[in-house]
Structure 1
Amino acid sequence: MTVAQPDVTVVIGAYEAMPYLVECLASVEAQTLGPGRIEVVAVDDGSTDGTGECLEEFAARVAMPVTVVRQDNSGGPSGPRNVGLGKASGRYVFFLDADDRLGPEALERMVAMADRNGTDVVLGRVEGVNRKPPRSMWGRTLERTDVFSSNIKFTLSAQKLFRREFLERHGMRFDESLWTGEDALFTMEAYLRADGVSVLADYTCYYLVGRSDGKHVTKSGSYTLRFDSARALMNLIAEFVPPGERRDSLMHRPFVVTLLPQFGPKFLKDSEAVRRHKFELAKPLIEEYWTEGVAQRLRVDERLRMHLVAEEKPELLVPVVEFVKAKKQAAALLEKKGREVYLVYPYFRDASAGIPDRVYLAPVREARAFPGYREHAPASVLRRAVRRARRVLRARAVVAA
């Protein structure tokens, strides 16, 4: 008898996941997609709290096929995910963290969207439970988009629906040498290789659960691991996207999300040795990938901090970070009849600091918050161009006469 291929393989990597695992598994069992269309591959990564036993009890009880793998601790989520992916047989694969849970219709809706559009990746809306998930990409449902036309670059966690044939065709696996940011590397590669990405924004597919014991991988690890993660992601982007505006639009993410926090409030608590080391680790990344195009995508305080890191001026960075930490509102200086807004952060037009005015120039989205700002309208730009052309024509007419 031929067994039908499941629509989705749910891969669950679990380590010391009790009691959160109970609700996680219940959310899989409650899926409206139906047990005949789902398989589960669960990998217990050396737990000692009953996680493995809970998985085996689930496998023995439920109608859907469940494979449980028990292995020695690998030290991170990449190993269990790769094991699960290697055993998957579904048309699609979904990586579910053992702390989290699915909305009841999540898999049914995501599979339908992927089938309808032929897309290789589907993002389902995420809500936080005692955690704050990314939000900027959930404004509206997008049947088909890509990483350049949307905000999906700001959600690089692995909790997405991936077409398994697509992953196998490109030999995609999680990088087990990275101790943090491995999911960002995997997901960004998928975005860049995908024949279309779908965004399901009108139904909560995934609940990101905050553990009361604070044991989240993204919160642990040495600062050096963050630089490893940033370096890997920047190198991946550079491998796929040539220099220019499109690359800059993607580099925005690792600079803001991964690198910049190392030069935020935590920098004030660092020893002098750690501060120097952070500057050393940042230097090759900035030399290679920090461009004016990236800088212009940052808010003024972000751009100012990265500028000072790029210029290797830790002594100037500290007062700026103190200003940011205090959550002070920088004064606004409007010039050119309100068409330019400068935010007066520390060292603005301080000759001894030598920081260019452009570092303090507010981008449009930031400038709009200040009364008196006059946004450059395309029509006004066109009118100026027409006036210039008329002046040139009149001058030529005078010469000809």
Structure 2
Amino acid sequence: MSFNYKISIVMPVFNASKDLSFALDSILNQTMNLSDIEVIMVDDYSTDNSLSIIKEYCRVYSNFKVIELKENIGAAYGPRNIGLKHVTGEYVMFLDSDDRFHEKACETLYNTANSNDVDIAFARYRRIYPEEKLILKSYSPYTDNINEYEDDLVDGVNLTGIIGFFWRHFFSRLIYGKLKNLNSDKIFIKNIKNHPELFKILPSIWTKIYRTSFIRKNNLEFPPFISGEDLNFVVKSFFLTDSIVFLNETIIHDYYMRNTDNDKSITKNINYSLVYDSLDSYYHCNEICRDFKFSKSNVILNPFLLNWISLYKQSDLSKSEKKELYKIVNNMSKFYKNGFISRCLIFFIKLLLKT
């Protein structure tokens, strides 16, 4: 199989004119030679001037390409899957239109994956909240004590009120446990089941590089969820390969989350579709774990279920909508029994949906 580029970067775009140039400029500023990078932007029928911005970059840079969708899919999974079909790079990376790569992201991940001949390489990131002047590093089970993090923010997840209280004083200690031994800053994984602690790190699709042939051989796609599609993609990909490298470094990726009143991101507008899809995606992830005979899905999903409770508490749903959610939780509860915390979370969610 011949490739035109070392890396293809797939970027879904929808009404992202405010941040799009910052994201694209972070690609231009990479230490890797720009001629080795292909950028595939998939516009999900934007109604602002995102497409005009994209076309200007394509006019100036021949390795920047655009795919214009004629109708809106409504979530990142669709544009990402379409972009994957058009990549011509040896490896694939993902960048969202409101994120920015660290200048060494492409070079570091590519050199790590290529020199070690692995299907997947990934590292840590810093999450930056410019409005709050707050910088958080991503969690690592090898070097970080979860209690060192901000009281109400864990990997950017806002856990305040009663949920935050139980998180700080109870759940965080039980979910994240003790630190693991680390012999080097680079960890080679042949069987992810032997390294379940890595699942405690958020999926963060934009911190990873994938061998294109690996994705195509396994027909890997993002499932059709508004939220949680990246979680399912990452978990399944980890089970499918025997060659992963994890870099326990925080310099690979800078993540910027906009915290503005006019933010129109789908995953920041809390409605029934988001609440339902998030929970359904966790159920789907649990099914993936069952398919691959991985009995510790709670390691992956307990933090997400806890965050889902916080999400649900911010929503205003009808009785019929709660009933539909209850069906998902009830089906999940039949197989999600590994651990006391897991059973408590499922029980508490059921209780919430019944009130």
TM-score of the aligned structures, taking structure 1 as reference length: 0.67
- Residue identity (%): 22
* Residue 56 to residue 286, structure 1, CA distance change in 2 (3 Å): same
Residue number in structure 1 paired with 2:263: 214
Tell me which amino acid in the other structure corresponds to 2:223: D
* Residue 214 to residue 147, structure 1, CA distance change in 2 (3 Å): farther
* Residue 61 to residue 52, structure 1, CA distance change in 2 (3 Å): same
Q: Which region of structure 1 is more displaced relative to structure 2, 83-92 or 201-210?
A: 201-210
Corresponding residue SS for 1:17? coil
Confirm whether residue 193 of structure 1 aligns to residue 240 of structure 2. Answer: yes
Tell me which amino acid in the other structure corresponds to 2:65: T
Count of equivalent residues? 298
Residue number in structure 1 paired with 2:11: 12
Q: Among residues 66, 76, 85, which one is paired with 1:68 in the alignment?
A: 66
Q: Among residues 201, 206, 216, which one is paired with 1:168 in the alignment?
A: 216
Alignment of 1:78-117 (within 5 A): 78-117=77-116
Q: Among residues 260, 263, 282, which one is paired with 2:306 in the alignment?
A: 260
Corresponding residue SS for 1:135? coil
CA distance in 1, matches of 2:295, 2:30: 40
Listed one character per residue, the Cα deviations across residues 281-338 of structure 1 (whole Å, up to 9, x for unaligned) are 31110112223xx33xx4xxx76444455xx6569x98xxxxxxxxxxxxxxxxxxxx
CA distance in 1, matches of 2:263, 2:137: 15
CA distance in 2, matches of 1:36, 1:267: 48
Confirm whether residue 42 of structure 1 aligns to residue 41 of structure 2. Answer: yes
Alignment of 1:45-56 (within 5 A): 45-56=44-55
Alignment of 1:199-348 (within 5 A): 199-211=246-258, 212=260, 213-220=262-269, 221-222=271-272, 223-241=275-293, 247-257=294-304, 259-264=305-310, 266-267=312-313, 273=319, 278-291=325-338, 294-295=339-340, 298=341, 304-308=344-348
CA distance in 2, matches of 1:308, 1:252: 18
Residue number in structure 2 paired with 1:363: none
CA distance in 2, matches of 1:252, 1:164: 28
Q: Of the two, which has the highest radius of gyration?
A: 1
Tell me which amino acid in the other structure corresponds to 1:147: I
CA distance in 2, matches of 1:313, 1:87: 46
Alignment of 1:149-160 (within 5 A): 149=195, 151-153=197-199, 154-159=201-206, 160=208
CA distance in 2, matches of 1:313, 1:4: 53
Listed one character per residue, the Cα deviations across residues 20-62 of structure 1 (whole Å, up to 9, x for unaligned) are 1111111101111102211111111111221111111111213
* Residue 137 to residue 205, structure 1, CA distance change in 2 (3 Å): farther
Equivalent pair of 1:106/1:124 in contact (CA under 8 Å): no
Q: RMSD value over aligned CA atoms?
A: 2.8
Shift of 1:249: 2.4
Equivalent pair of 1:100/1:206 in contact (CA under 8 Å): no
- Unaligned runs of at least 5 residues, structure 1: 242-246, 319-401
Corresponding residue SS for 1:13? strand
Alignment of 1:125-136 (within 5 A): 125-130=124-129, 134-136=138-140
Q: Looking at both structures, which has the greater relative contact order when contacts are Cα pairs under 8 Å and sequence separation is at least 6?
A: 2
* Residue 65 to residue 138, structure 1, CA distance change in 2 (3 Å): farther
Equivalent pair of 1:262/1:278 in contact (CA under 8 Å): no
Equivalent pair of 2:124/2:137 in contact (CA under 8 Å): no
CA distance in 1, matches of 2:326, 2:68: 42
Listed one character per residue, the Cα deviations across residues 51-83 of structure 1 (whole Å, up to 9, x for unaligned) are 111111111213x51211111311111111111
* Residue 228 to residue 132, structure 1, CA distance change in 2 (3 Å): farther
Tell me which amino acid in the other structure corresponds to 2:279: F
Tell me which amino acid in the other structure corresponds to 2:66: V
- Unaligned runs of at least 5 residues, structure 2: 130-134, 144-183
Residue number in structure 1 paired with 2:192: 147
TM-score of the aligned structures, taking structure 2 as reference length: 0.75
CA distance in 1, matches of 2:91, 2:281: 27
